[in-house]
């Protein structure tokens, strides 16, 4: 004879899962279209938008297609885009000088977005040299006293200042330095303030790891990288280092700090959110996006369900903002 325990079940957690309305009523984590940031790419040398093969649904844009896609994102409720530039190979050089050329592809794109949308859409600029250098590194390449090739941290800071000022002149509301150079936030903040751009904010890529999940992005920006970036991006084995980087960036004037990638580093994201006095963003990077798209296309997972589950998990772990290539699609889904 088995005992009947049902009469003793005072706590029944399933009561609060009984209907969609009930589940929404007690949800601990919410996600809004305005929490999402859409990374976008503008490219020279193309006459129509070109799909990136390893990132289905993501495009290198012309100016006109960029404005259309940004408008679609805004209509869906996405209030911020992060723009990357893709110059012609012949326009790249050792220092990435097109990055601070007012007529360069990225600065032209920023200016077009600001003219079209004014303050309705937050225009954020990627502030890094890797798309513009012929060697693909995020700064000035030199040799140390032993003859080894290195990225010169302090020489790079001066170029980041020039790049940030060009982006501010083009109309960027926010600068997003992603090169992981020591002191980059302080240098950029000083340059912006010195030229009267005190209102231009900075989203710092504070905990950016040397990750294999960045692979498809290299195709998206036509990367010329030779070697790797392990001497300046963070070791995936470390977390205390991330917390130090965050504290330094906040001290130097960062308005928002970021963890990149997102899903493989949710533990880092949670720790950063616990200590940060400023908003915390996370970047669902190209490899994360590509895996979900590929699995969905093969019928292995429900793409849209996995998309939303991944985004809510990033939000639950502590992200205030999420950079994701799913931004427009997810925003439409959130609006029903």
| Residue boundaries of the structural domains of the chain | 32-334
Q: Taking Cα atoms as reference points, which of 129, 133, 134, 132 lies closest to residue 43? A: 132
Computed over every residue of the chain, the mean pLDDT equals: 92
pLDDT bracket for residue 89 (50, 70, 90): confident
Q: Tell me the C-alpha distance between 199 and 46, whole Å.
A: 34
Q: Which CATH architecture has domain 32-334?
A: Alpha-Beta Barrel (3.20)
The pLDDT, as a whole number, for residue 1 is 54
Nearest-5° Cα angle at 112, 165 to 194:
15
Q: What is the reported pLDDT for 227? A: 65
What residues form DSSP beta bridges with 82?
39, 124
- 146 has a pLDDT exceeding 60: yes
Which residues have a catalytic role annotated?
208, 260
Of the two residues 228 and 306, the one the predictor is more confident about is 306
Contact 234, 249 (CB under 8 A): no
For residue 116, give every residue at least 6 positions away whose Cβ sits within 8 Å of its Cβ, in sequence order, or none.
67, 70, 71
Q: How confident is the model at residue 222 (pLDDT cuts 50, 70, 90)?
A: low
Residue 7 has a pLDDT of 67
What is the rounded distance in angstroms from the CA atom of residue 269 to the CA atom of residue 83? 23
Tell me how far CA of residue 173 lies from CA of 80, 117, 119, 263, 287, in angstroms: 10, 12, 8, 27, 27
Query: What is the residue whose two structure tokens read 């994201």?
Result: 269
Task: Yes or no: say if 218 and 207 are a contact pair by the CB < 8 Å rule.
Answer: no
List, for residues 289-299, the tens digit of each pLDDT value.
Answer: 999 999 999 99
> Which residues are CB-neighbours of 164 under 8 A, at least 6 positions away?
127, 175, 177, 188, 191, 192, 200
Considering only residues 180 and 278, tell me which one the structure prediction assigns the higher pLDDT.
278
d(CA 162, CA 160): 5
pLDDT at 212: 85
Identify the CA nearest to 258 among candidates 329, 312, 314, 212. Answer: 314
From 325, 171, 190, 322, select the one nearest 256 (Cα to Cα): 322
CA pair distance 247, 185, nearest whole angstrom: 12
**pLDDT score of 140:** 79
Question: What is the Cα–Cα distance from 317 to 241, expressed in whole angstroms?
Answer: 19
Q: Which of 178-182, 214-218, 234-238, 266-270 has the highest mean pLDDT?
A: 266-270
Q: Extract the tokens encoding 122.
A: 């937050």
Residue 169: what pLDDT?
98
Q: pLDDT of 21-49, one tens digit each?
A: 999 999 999 999 999 999 999 999 999 99
CA distance 334 to 329: 9
pLDDT in tens, 226-274: 767 777 888 999 999 999 999 999 999 999 999 999 999 999 999 999 9
- Lowest mean pLDDT of 72-86, 144-158, 218-232, name the range: 218-232
Share of the chain above pLDDT 90, in %: 78
């Amino acid at each position: 004879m088995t005992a009947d325990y049902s009469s003793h079940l005072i706590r029944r957690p399933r009561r609060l899962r009984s209907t969609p309305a009930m589940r929404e009523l007690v949800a601990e984590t919410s996600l809004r279209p305005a929490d999402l940031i859409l990374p976008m790419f503008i490219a020279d040398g193309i006459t129509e938008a070109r799909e990136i093969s390893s990132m289905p649904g993501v495009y290198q844009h012309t100016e006109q297609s960029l404005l259309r896609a940004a408008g679609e994102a805004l209509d869906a409720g996405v209030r911020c885009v992060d723009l990357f530039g893709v110059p012609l190979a012949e326009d790249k050089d050792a220092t990435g000088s097109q990055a601070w050329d007012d007529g360069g592809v990225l600065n032209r794109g920023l200016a077009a977005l600001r003219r079209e949308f004014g303050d309705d859409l937050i225009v954020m600029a990627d502030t890094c040299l890797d798309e513009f250098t012929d060697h693909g590194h995020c700064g000035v390449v030199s040799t140390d006293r032993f003859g080894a090739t290195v990225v010169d941290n302090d020489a790079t800071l001066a170029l980041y200042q020039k790049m940030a000022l060009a982006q501010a002149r083009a109309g960027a509301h926010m600068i997003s330095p992603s090169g992981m150079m020591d002191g980059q936030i302080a240098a950029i903040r000083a340059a912006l303030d010195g030229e009267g751009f005190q209102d231009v904010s900075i989203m710092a890529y504070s905990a950016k790891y040397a990750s294999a999940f960045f692979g498809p992005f290299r195709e998206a920006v036509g990367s010329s990288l030779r070697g790797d970036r392990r001497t300046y991006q963070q070791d995936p084995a470390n977390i205390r280092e991330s917390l130090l980087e965050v504290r330094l960036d906040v001290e130097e004037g960062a308005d928002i700090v970021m963890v990149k990638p997102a899903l493989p580093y949710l533990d880092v994201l949670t720790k950063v959110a616990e200590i940060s006095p400023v908003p915390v963003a996370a970047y669902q990077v190209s490899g994360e996006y590509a895996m979900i798209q590929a699995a969905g296309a093969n019928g292995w997972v429900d793409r849209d369900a996995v998309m939303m589950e991944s985004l809510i998990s990033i939000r639950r772990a502590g992200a205030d903002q999420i950079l994701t290539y799913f931004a427009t699609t997810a925003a439409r889904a959130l609006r029903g």
